[in-house]
Structure 1
Amino acid sequence: MLEGKHAFFFNADEYFVYLAVFGFFVLIASLLPKILDKRLITAPIIFLILGVALFSLPFDLPVHHWADSPYWPKRLTELGVIISLTGVGLKINRPFAKETWNLSKWLLLITMPVSMLAIALLAHYFLGFLPAAAILAAAVLAPTDPVLAADIQTGPPGSKDHSETRLALTTEAGLNDGLAFPFTHLALAVVLAGIAPGKWLMDWLLMDVVYRIVVGFLVGVLAGKLMAWLIFTYSFTKARISQSPASGILAISLTLIPYGLAELVEGYGFISVFVAACFFRQQESTHRFVNYVHDLSEELERIFIMVLFVGLGYYLVHFFPSDMDIDLFWVALLFVFLIRPISGMLGIGHQNLSFKEKWVISFFGIRGIGSLFYLFFALYQEDFPDGRRLLALVVATIILSVLVHGMLAKFAIGWIVASERKSDG
């Protein structure tokens, strides 16, 4: 008779159960894009449903509210965003010139501040948030999301995608994820020192606005050009690396090197990652290796989407019902259906585009993982008295955005592309 650890045929160690479950979800993440290619439902919706179903089971799991324990949620969302920013930068098939950024420039200069002001006012006067929490709500909901916006972005490197609509949405998602950071720091300054500008204004302008943005951009330029030189020009590595599909693994270096360096010198790492990918792409616009790097980045992004949305099911099951209220839901509705579309029209209404193009660009301001990262970043730094309601507002907005924008994205982009081809013809 077998005794001790050999007494049972099956090993009941939970670690192996978790491995098998994770492998199952990775399999789903790899298959879903092909299965859902022609359908309105999107992969994040499926993962959210699976997450809710999984965490509704009677597992004996520790229960920690994300607003009170934000470290690991912050790290996971951070990795998801920077991997996605690399993919977004590699997709931009235009020169790094001012014409490329013409539409996104107005979305950043007008649309983003107007939508932030509207959210801050609603959060303070309608939801009753204190000034610091109202500013934080505006900051975290300001950026469009590079992670969930694949259906409305430009195609992979080298694709013949001349859509100004897709280009605007792609470049906006790449840039505003870094440019929302100063306002997150502004919320932190207010929660620490109060609303009196004399206590924080100059430090905020010099450090959080000017220094961090400039340093983030410069680190991105240097890292992108250096890695492009190493891969495409330096003879020792060019022959050995750049021809191999397996070398797409260097997408991880293109993500982590600029991000880590920028954060070490207190620049904005999100800006560095996006800029590095753009400059890497510009140094060699036709090389097959760029596609290898992009493809791996896209696969990693799918895994992070799976992990984050299945994980979001944990919050929905355990905390969302108690954190959520009808006022938060109304603000989420207003943001998705009125604030973003109206502020988008204010930003690009003067541009030489058809009404269809303006409407799609204005409406499809997808909110997602970036908003969660900014919120967890702020909650990890300081205590916000409205932290739990802030998290519920952000999650409600993301779910609404995923449902509405996800189901309409393929239809809207097909509508625009057909319109653009007709006008070109």
Structure 2
Amino acid sequence: MSFEHLQSFFVFDGYHLQLAFVGLIIILSYWVPRLVSRREPVAAPLLLISAGLVAWLFPEVKPLPDPGEAPVIWEHLSEMAVIVALFGAGMRIDEIGSWQRWRPATRLLVIAMPLTIIAVALLGAGLAGLSLASAILLGAVLAPTDPVLASDVQVGPPHKGGERPVRFALTTEAGLNDGLAFPFVYLALFVAAEGMAPSSWGLEWVGIDVVYKIIVGGLVGWAGGWMLGYVLFHFPRKTALAETGSGVIALAGVFLCYGSSELVEGYGFIAVAVMGFTLRRVEKEHDFHRRLHDFSEAIEHGLTALLLVAFGSVLPVLFADLSWSHIAVALLLILVIRPLAGWLSLMGTGLHRDERLVIAVYGVRGIGSIYYLAYAASEGEIAQMTDLWSIVAIAVLLSTMLHGFTVGLAMDRLHRDVPHDD
């Protein structure tokens, strides 16, 4: 067979190259860290992003297009990863506990998150030269911590225990603050469309985007959790779905709850987190909860790996207009704003100083920020979107690096110095 015949026989289709490339990269990213450490592969996200950079050299193997040109694709794929992760975060909580147990997470949501939004918005306007709408959007996009990349600081799967104050606070915060950031995204869209004129849109924003959508999202999640629990465990009693072991029920329940909440204009992110938490209260000792969690976690990891490889492949495009002011905003968020806002918000909670420090520092930024920015880009006309993508991209990259390489040591030291009964 001649060389020309071989060329015509082996046709390197771009789609198949993408599949092979992504599969190889994901395997290597989870396998390589095992060569040097027996710890869970906390370096895998960074390796996935770094390996994705290689795809930039070969346009035919880039998994996804530039988010600036096709934000809807990024919006929907990141949306899937976030809602599955939020459901899993709710499923992990074994015990409700007392109000004292929830105080740190409540403080983080009510105090630290608004402080972070304000501080990042001021930095965006003053340091990066963003318009008011773009600055507000930047604050909203970077405020929530990530339920996808922060699994190393969260509580374990159902029935595993280990719900120490630090892990419980970071899990519940990550489970709820994604939905609670949405009102501020809408605030930015209002300002971009109508200017800083609260008299024309303030009542609608407060009544609909702040009050109505949060309440409806919570109610839909609560009702969905109990209804799915009844179908799984109680009806029909002799042939209950919980006995089948089919984990796909988790994904079906997430889609049903999320879609239903969005159809009645509630926040779907809040709904799926509340649904996971509520479902966990039904027959809470049943081992089906662990199967549901493990199945949804596997889907979450798969979507996250694909997203991170794709994210790495578009970093050169997103960094084309990267400036020192963008890097400064990202570093100040990770090293100063979040730690300081978290530390101040946790005053008076009774936590040990080291626990407050770990909770304040480990607010990981990731897939949720990508989703919010892609959502805003597809929903409204936001100026300086190129600058926003640059800042968010460098913030996610730096957070993945700094938090990923230090979280294991920080948690080991905390467990050693501040003993707790699980």
TM-score by length of 2: 0.93
Match of 1:284 in 2: 283
Match of 1:419 in 2: 417
* Contact residue 145 and residue 369 of structure 1 kept, 8 A: yes
Aligned counterpart for 1:348 among listed residues 346, 349, 353: 346
Aligned counterpart for 2:323 among listed residues 318, 322, 325: 325
Match of 1:334 in 2: 332
Match of 1:135 in 2: 136
* Contact residue 148 and residue 366 of structure 1 kept, 8 A: yes
* Contact residue 25 and residue 306 of structure 1 kept, 8 A: no
Quick one: structure 1 residues 239 and 100, their matched pair in 2 at CA, closer, same or farther if it must change by over 3 Å?
Answer: farther
Q: CA deviation at 1:224?
A: 0.6
Quick one: structure 1 residues 300 and 285, their matched pair in 2 at CA, closer, same or farther if it must change by over 3 Å?
Answer: same
Paired letter, 2:171? T
Q: CA deviation at 1:6?
A: 11
Once the two structures are superposed, the pairs formed by residues 162-201 of structure 1 within 5 Å of their partners are 162-201=163-202
* Contact residue 86 and residue 273 of structure 1 kept, 8 A: yes
Cα separation, 1, equivalents of 2:394 and 2:23: 28
Q: CA deviation at 1:398?
A: 0.7
Cα separation, 2, equivalents of 1:224 and 1:31: 36
* Contact residue 213 and residue 268 of structure 1 kept, 8 A: yes
Percentage identity across paired residues of the two chains? 37
Paired letter, 1:261? S
The 3-state SS of whatever aligns with 1:276 is helix
Match of 1:225 in 2: 226
Moved more, 164-173 or 125-134: 125-134
Once the two structures are superposed, the pairs formed by residues 396-411 of structure 1 within 5 Å of their partners are 396-411=394-409
Paired letter, 1:243? E
* Contact residue 96 and residue 279 of structure 1 kept, 8 A: no
Q: Which whole-Å deviations, capped at 9, do the CAs of 1:182-208 have from their partners, x for residues lacking one?
A: 000000000011001101100000110
Match of 2:267 in 1: 268
* Contact residue 163 and residue 420 of structure 1 kept, 8 A: no
Paired letter, 2:188? A
Q: Which whole-Å deviations, capped at 9, do the CAs of 1:42-98 have from their partners, x for residues lacking one?
A: 211110111001222353879954224211011111111001111111111122864
Cα separation, 1, equivalents of 2:239 and 2:32: 36
Paired letter, 1:178? G
Q: Which whole-Å deviations, capped at 9, do the CAs of 1:190-244 have from their partners, x for residues lacking one?
A: 00110011011000001100111111011101111000111111135x6353134
* Contact residue 17 and residue 61 of structure 2 kept, 8 A: no
Match of 1:212 in 2: 213
Residue 114 of structure 1 pairs with residue 118 of structure 2: no
Stretches of structure 1 lacking an aligned partner (at least 5 in a row): none
Cα separation, 2, equivalents of 1:357 and 1:278: 24
Once the two structures are superposed, the pairs formed by residues 310-321 of structure 1 within 5 Å of their partners are 310-317=309-316, 319-321=317-319
Cα separation, 2, equivalents of 1:116 and 1:262: 25
Cα separation, 2, equivalents of 1:271 and 1:96: 20
Cα separation, 2, equivalents of 1:52 and 1:376: 20
Cα separation, 1, equivalents of 2:120 and 2:399: 16
* Contact residue 120 and residue 135 of structure 2 kept, 8 A: yes
Stretches of structure 2 lacking an aligned partner (at least 5 in a row): none
Equivalent residue pairs, number: 419
Match of 2:242 in 1: 242
Cα separation, 2, equivalents of 1:388 and 1:102: 38
TM-score by length of 1: 0.92
Match of 2:390 in 1: 392
Q: CA deviation at 1:315?
A: 1.5
